Chains A and B, each alone.
Chain A
Amino acid sequence: MNVQTPWNENQAVRCILWVVLAVAISRAGHSQELPPAVDREVDFVRDVQPILRARCWSCHGAEKQESGLRLDRSEAAFIGGDSGKAILRNESAKSLLIQYVSGLDADHIMPPEGQRLSSEQIGLLRTWIDRGAQWPASGTTEKNSHWAYQPLKHVSPPKPKQHAWVVNPIDNFVLEKLESQGISPSAQADRYTLIRRLSLDLTGLLPTVEQVDAFVNDAQPNAYEAVVDRLLDSPHFGERWGRHWLDMARYADSDGYEKDNPRPDAYRYRDWVIDAINTDMPFDQFTIEQLAGDLLPEATDMQRLATAFHRQTLTNTEGGTDQEQFRVEACFDRTETTGAVWLGLTVGCARCHTHKYDAITQREYYQLFAFFNNGDEQTHVVPKSVEEIESYRVAKAKFDDELAQAKTALTSPDFIEAEMEWENASLEKLNALERIESQRRLLDNPVFHSEDSQLTFKALEDNSFLVSGDKPLTTDYTISGQLKDAQVRVLRLDLLTDSSLPKKGPGRAENGNFVISEVVVESSTSADFSNAQTWEFTAAKADYEQNRFPATKTIDGKVTDGGWAIANETGKPHWLELQLKDPLEFQQPTFVRVRLHQQHGTQHTIGRCKITFQSEMSPEASLPEKIVKLLKAPREQRSESQQQELVEHFAHVYPATQDAAKAIEELKKKEPSKPEVAARVLVQRTKDPRKTLVLRRGEFLEPMPDAEVQPSGFSTLPQLQTRSSVGDRLDLARWLVSKENPLTPRVTVNHVWRLLFGTGIVKTANDFGVRGELPTHPELLDWLAAEFIGFNDGRSSTVTAWSRKSLIKNIVMSATYRQSSAHRNDLMEVDPQNRLLARQNRMRVEGEIVRDISLDVAGLLSRKVGGPSVYPLLPPGIAELSYAGNFKWNLSEGADRYRRGMYTFFKRTAPHPNLITFDCPDANLTCVDRSKSNTPLQALVALNNESFAEAARALAVRALNCDPKLEESERLALAFRWCVARPPTEYEISELENLLKESRQWYESHNEDAKKLMAATKVDGYSPEVVAAWIATARILINLDEFITRE
């Protein structure tokens, strides 16, 4: 075990002291006491580096970075440490480095131990800094010699002795290594094993017995290749290899943090992956679209969708979060996931410091981070799937035809003429209304009053008044003011909404309602109303009346006998108009007093109201707001669809077309909806782009002001070319897959190799850095990488550049891949971990596949590819584990209950336990290499979980129903072959027969048990005890180690 102590409490304290000290020094102005700069040429390599090496690097070098400071590499040195910049170019007196080594504070002298730096040495450092602190490239870093960063080389396959064994160049590399160790390869696995191995590796499904027999009996020389080609063409190939990719993409169906809200759109990206892999999208394009599809010229919907790769990051919607914290957190994740997936590098360590083992500095980390810092999170509408869009188009065309047919009634000359007339008449009415509106009069100098002194009236800018304060059960408002030079026939009340009112009002009752029980208006020439005249209203009209609360109640002369109200239509403005018997004319200033009685009770009072006077009732336009708007627009400016809307509106009121209009309306309800989904994508931020600063210790609140970085690659890898002055994600993506970049192809072929052999050529698939393991077959790795990117052009004919399928085919065709996986005694000592590949490796299938194949042999599995995630059986109490029990698992029905495991809805805080028990990753971070454990909990799942119990029942039924002519042992042998492809041995069949027999005996004497085990199962012609015994036996078949293992 290794010990790593980059940071501890003492350092933390020291770091704080650094800060304190730095402030103290700069404030005290001790700079005069510094040793003077030397007055001569200073050369970094000759004069400065030796001082740093001798006196600083032991604490601030490759091995240790006390206080986060590293002085052996220029990028890191100029960033500084936790206290800030150590070296300020041209300002040696202000540079912490100089202040510290000068020992101005007796408690804090650098170096802390040993002799102080001499005045001469400090002078050299000062002069070097004052003259610009030149740090020549040769003095920066030694060229990094780590193998993984070296360019790909042309490698010719070696020539081993037993060339007869060799099928393709892969075998040359492997065999040569084996021969050098005196080891011979294993024999080819038998054909049963081979086809089962290929099927599981390429599709994650089992071959049928028919497929197995066809292959076993196929004498053609290309029999094996034919199987490979068939499987590569299978739609399940994309599922299988898509799932591997989704591990790396940390794909899930929910947000992750706390509430962990569902992401119903997430599946769309999953389907994109499956599709891209099925169509063998070249890996360079696959990379570019996922990292930067939005930046491609004229990006398609699908290319934008691909950027959802980096929208799989977690989202925290917990109350009181600082969204910037989690935005930065998501960018960290994008940075580190990109590093892990394409470069096989664990860049995350450099988030806080430049570390001793990594070739990547903290500054470089933020250069990579900078690519993602301006990626904004957005949604983009995309088709649900190609098929659904296709069938939509067909349905839509049909619908359009039907609609056009229905609309022929609206094309008769009579109708067209009538419609024109209606338009004109309506417009006239609207104009009259407008005129009335424009002539409305307000009271001058209004005063608001109520008997309830706790009420407050506030006059608003639109001349309405808003009521707040106490809430009396009943009340009256009095609004008084003057009118002059006015002709009045109508009093108008506008009841308006306001956010301060319950349900936005306009009333103050709990539900926003009010009741105006009576409106009484008086006018007088004197302020004291001594000669008041009470207005006599003869008509009342409102835009809406609540049942049994009509507008006329407000002028019926009775204050207590009901009133006008608007329940069910609260939250919207309303109006009431009252018409006088005779018009009134006020030439002289006249005092007017409006009393609004609100005696209904239960706080049904007015919240906001505006009072105006007009010369006539507003004409009955009663047109929907939208139609009014359309009518007001000049005819020639209306679009066709707008005109259509008017026409259809009129068709409803025109007697001759009312039926047709209704039919059109009904038909429109059946308009097919476009199958689209709003996918989470990344979009480049162009407005207010963010600057990227190095964050001290990765803390989002502590950007280092002097440490701005630009998007860029790593110095250990070839130069990243940018299309403009500032790089973007598209530049990054192209750099990752450029022919000069050796890491991406090495890492990618290693991933594929790992999935086909259980272990990569580099065992640490997630770490190609200096701490990772060396490749066991470095030349093979490079040869495969070169083949993969088409670098070996002309030297090999088997490969298409960046083709995943070609790469996989190349590997599975090799003799190396086809070896038996049986362990060999002779290898125990020399190669216990099978790193030399003298045999294949056995691998337990992944968690999803364990269930998939159980359902498959049971005949239950749905083979549908893609679509929204599903909810198969889940034990009770699991969904409840999520926060505050806010998650409901809506059990899928029919075929959706038996979809492949990769379609199971993945809730990050409460994932399906069957998946987790079998080591499915939790999707919170990128996972480039699943672990494979072997635990008792797995045994319990496969034995007892209801999904598996269901599979055992269905497998028994399938066996009993398959062929009536079979003997029991033949029947057993067939079921055995469904599970493991090969025929059973005599011993195996007798063991199973004994189990079947003894189970039957048990159930014969325990009939109740038999019925329970069968649940709803029925098989014609078999007694319950026989069926139950078969279920008990089938259950053991799907628990065989061989069943869940890819041999």
Chain B
Amino acid sequence: MSDRQNYIEQLRRDFLTTSASGLGMAALSAMLASDGGLSRAHGEEPTNPLSTKTSHFAPTAKNCIFLLQAGAPSQLDLFEPKPKLNALHGKPLPAEMLDKVRFAFIKKDSAVLMGSPRKWSKHGECGMDFSDFLPHLATCADDMLMIRSMHSEQFNHHPGQLLLSCGRATFGLPTMGSWLTYGLGSESQNLPGYVVLTSGRGSSGGTSLWSSGFLPSHYAGVLFRNEGEPVLNLTNPDGMPNELQRRGLDTLKSLNQTHYNRMHDPEIASRIASYELAFRMQSAAPELIDLKSETAGTLDRYGVERAQHPQATGRGNVANAHLSFARNCLLARRMVERGVRFVTIVYEAWDQHSDLEQDLRYNSWVVDQPIAALLKDLKQRGMLDSTLVVWGAEFGRTPLGENRNGREANTGRDHHPFAFSLWMAGGGVRGGQVYGQTDDIGWGITADPVHMNDFHATLLHLFGLDHLQLTHRHQGRDFRLTDVGGKVMHSWLI
């Protein structure tokens, strides 16, 4: 027997003899489970918060990659051609429509409609519409479910991003990835179950977009970084080589074990296991972000080393976002391969109140190729069936041009929570379909409205979770991702 096996055996004996309650047993049992020693304990409190758990029913999705397009891209210039809107360009919106709505910046009395100068064409066997800004993504049409009838009630960024991430525009709630890891645990023994990647500038929501809210911090998203070490504090201090790190941890383990023998508190065993997992993460995370094992073809398809766009401009153009976004898409695939349950990629680039044309051209270019490459890569590896990819934002943009501050020409669009687009692919979603309808100018929904909470209910359903049953008691109330709404959209499923 190796030392490690000896040690595990010893811990197992202690575990079995002294802590039948399993109170707070944390990572220990995960470690044991990985050695085939113990399956998840059943009972009121699972021993390891991140050990894998059984879903309510058979899932189709195992992992999720959430492409959070913060700032809200214009559905009217990317996914939804509106010839009537173009025909009405420069005309005001009927007064009865304006009466009911609030805007962030538009001046109601002088607002006029703004057509889209984009060229549109149909793609795939399903004939899905895409504008000329998304040529790569258009080739994935048959794998995509395009929802045109999303609606929300928040028209400011931060509350809108909270609603999208947490099911309700309130602070202190868990985000989607937290709910999924809470409900299903993590399949990775060496990496966090919920990882966050960012490109470009900081988003309105900041860290509240990957918070675990009232759930324990085990379920919070772990930010992988764009510079330096991939995970905060992953690297030993300078001059502390791995051999010595291991040597120190052995002493630490031994002293903690001695203390455990005195106190018999399972939390100590838990701490020992946490340090061991941290040690494993120290080698697993750098391996994850090291792209050496990827072929030149793969790197090329994602655009990991592509040249900058000749007209790089706009909000997204920060710190080589075109490279980091491409790299993040590829990293997302590598994470899913290694069992990470939920990957969020935040790209805050889409708040085009002005200069929509140039800004949107550039930012669409940034995301188009890498996302298409990700979908195809997943598919080619047979992973798309079980990996749900979601593109979504806090809201869409108005068919009215924005005329804030008496701007002479409308060059942008305002926030529009009443009708916007979101798409999904893989993970048991039936691709090649367009769901929902909006009116001729894209103002309101005319068929099949989908609330954010319906999207959440369906997302959980794909993972085999009943959104009404996945709850957590907090301050006397059973909270859920879908707040007090949500219905599963069965027609979206395979």
Contact = CB atoms under 8 A, between A and B. Distances in A.
Contacts of A358: 476
Given A8-B484, A823-B264, A1012 B238 contact: yes
B244 A1032 contact: yes
B485 A12 contact: yes
Given A931-B217, A933-B218, A1032-B244, A2 B208 contact: no
Interface string B474-494: 011110100011110000000
A256 B171 CA distance: 10
What's the interface size class on A, roughly?
A: 35 or more
A1 B156 contact: no
Interface in A860-882: 875-877, 880-882
Given A936-B27, A1010-B239, A943 B206 contact: no
Nearest to A984: B255
Given A944-B237, A1014-B239, A917 B204 contact: no
B280 to A, nearest CB: 8
With most chain B CB atoms within 10 A of its CB, the pick from A319, A764, A886, A919 is A319
Contacts of B27: 934, 936
A825 B263 contact: no
Given A828-B21, A885-B202, A994-B251, A938 B274 contact: yes
B232 A913 contact: yes
B264 A822 contact: yes
Nearest to B353: A319
Given A875-B232, A936-B275, A318 B204 contact: yes
Contact of B19 (A320, A321, A764, A828): A828
Counting chain B CB atoms within 10 Å of each CB, the highest count among A882, A937, A1008 belongs to: A937
Nearest to A843: B267
A828 B202 contact: no
A945 B234 CA distance: 9
A940 B468 contact: no
Contacts of B227: 876-877
B151 to A, nearest CB: 12
A996 to B, nearest CB: 9
A513 to B, nearest CB: 25
B158 A940 contact: no
Contacts of B192: 937
A318 B158 contact: yes
A922 B159 CA distance: 16
In the complex, which of the residues B202, B235, B471, B484 has the most CB atoms of chain A within 10 Å of its own CB atom?
A: B202
Contacts of B19: 828
Given A934-B26, A999-B244, A764 B171 contact: no
A767 B198 CA distance: 37
Interface string B212-238: 000011101011011110011111111
Nearest to A945: B233
Interface stretch (A528-536, A788-796, A1037-1045): A1037-1045
B201 A884 contact: yes
A288 to B, nearest CB: 25
Nearest to A1008: B239
A1022 interface: no
A940 B211 contact: no
Contacts of B13: none
B118 interface: no
A320 B478 contact: no
A5 interface: yes
Contact of A936 (B24, B208, B278, B475): B278
Contacts of B298: none
A931 B235 CA distance: 27
A924 B255 contact: no
A991 interface: yes
Contact of A319 (B104, B247, B282): B104
A463 interface: no
A943 B171 contact: no
Contact of A9 (B225, B278, B487): B487
Contact of A999 (B231, B247, B454): B247
Contacts of A935: 217-218, 274
Interface string B164-183: 00000011100000000000
B475 to A, nearest CB: 4
Contact of B103 (A320, A346, A943, A1011): A320
Contacts of B241: 1002, 1006, 1009
Contacts of B20: 828-829, 832
A911 B205 CA distance: 13
Contacts of B24: 934
Interface residues of B, number: 100
A1030 to B, nearest CB: 12
A147 interface: no
A415 to B, nearest CB: 57
Interface in A998-1047: 998-999, 1002, 1006, 1008-1015, 1028, 1032-1033, 1035-1036, 1039-1042, 1045, 1047
Interface in A410-446: none
B105 A349 contact: no
Nearest to B262: A822
B368 interface: no
B476 A771 contact: yes
A552 interface: no
A455 interface: no
A842 B270 CA distance: 13
A5 B468 contact: yes
Contact of B254 (A257, A822, A943, A991): A991
Nearest to A944: B233
A844 B237 CA distance: 24
B121 interface: no
Contacts of B278: 936-937, 939-940, 943
A260 B251 contact: no
Nearest to A9: B487
B341 to A, nearest CB: 16
A940 B259 contact: no
B126 interface: no
B470 to A, nearest CB: 8
A844 B318 CA distance: 41
B156 A316 contact: yes
B281 A940 contact: yes
B239 A8 contact: no
A771 B454 CA distance: 28
Nearest to A880: B202
Contacts of A880: 201-202
A995 interface: yes
Nearest to B225: A877
A1009 B202 contact: no
Contacts of B275: 936, 939, 943, 1039
B239 A1013 contact: yes
A242 interface: no
B62 interface: no
B258 A985 contact: yes
Interface of A: 1-9, 12, 256-258, 260, 314, 316, 318-322, 340, 345-346, 348-349, 352, 357-358, 764, 766-767, 769, 771-772, 821-825, 828-829, 832-833, 842, 844, 875-877, 880-886, 908-911, 913, 916-917, 919, 922, 924-925, 931, 933-941, 943-946, 949, 952, 985, 987-988, 991-992, 994-995, 998-999, 1002, 1006, 1008-1015, 1028, 1032-1033, 1035-1036, 1039-1042, 1045, 1047
9 closest pairs, A vs B, by CB? A320-B104, A909-B206, A1013-B239, A1012-B239, A924-B171, A832-B21, A939-B278, A7-B484, A936-B278
17 contacts: A320-B414, A322-B102, A764-B476, A766-B476, A823-B263, A877-B227, A881-B223, A919-B216, A922-B211, A924-B171, A924-B172, A924-B208, A925-B171, A941-B233, A944-B234, A995-B248, A1032-B240
Interface of B: 18-21, 23-24, 26-27, 49, 102-105, 155-159, 170-172, 192, 198, 201-208, 211, 216-218, 220, 222-223, 225-228, 231-241, 243-245, 247-248, 251-252, 254-256, 258-260, 262-265, 267-268, 270-272, 274-275, 277-278, 281-282, 318, 414-415, 451, 454, 468-471, 473, 475-478, 480, 484-487
